[in-house]
Amino acid sequence: MGESLEQPSPLRNVQSAASSGTNEVWNTQEEMMRLEAENAQLKAELEQAKHDRDMWEQKAQLRGASLDILEVWAQQAKQREAKLLKVVHSFNDLISESRGVDGFHKNGDIATWDEFDLVNEIGEALQEGA
């Protein structure tokens, strides 16, 4: 019951070895070998942790670069959409200000806008863009 939970320090073992003989020196050598092995293990774990940290930093940089590229693409897509919507509005204005396409039919008749699927597509595009 009166056991001490305190671990003997290597320094105590060295001091004891000087007074009590080779058993204590052997214990000190075992303790030093154990500490060296533990130190080597901790160094290996530290190196692995550094490697993992570097890997995650690289992934974060790539993710940041990817997000930057996506942001640029999104801006470019918005610009293209605005240009296309402008073209669609121009076609819609043309359709509303004219009867159709003269010279489309070989017989000389004007092709009215309702003959073209384009009119419906422009109407749908304008509804989606609004």
**Residue 31: inside a domain, yes or no?**
yes
pLDDT in tens, 69-119: 988 999 999 999 889 889 888 888 988 899 888 888 889 899 998 888 888
Taking residues 53-76, report their average pLDDT. Answer: 89
**38: Cα within 13 Å, side-chain hemisphere:** 6
pLDDT score of 103? 87
Query: Does 89 reside within a domain?
Result: no
Residue 3 vs residues 6, 7, 123, 130: alpha-carbon distances, Å: 9, 11, 91, 84
Domain that holds residue 48: 10-75
DSSP 8-state assignment for residue 6: P
Q: Is 44 among the domain residues?
A: yes
Summarised one tens digit per residue, pLDDT across range 33-50 is 888 999 999 999 999 999
Domain assignment present for residue 33? The answer is yes
Residue 92 lies in a domain: no
Residue 41, domain member (yes or no): yes
**Domain presence at residue 36:** yes
- The pLDDT assigned to 43 comes to 92
Q: Is the pTM of this model over 0.85?
A: no
How many domains does the structure of the chain reveal? 1
- Specify if 104 maps to a domain: no
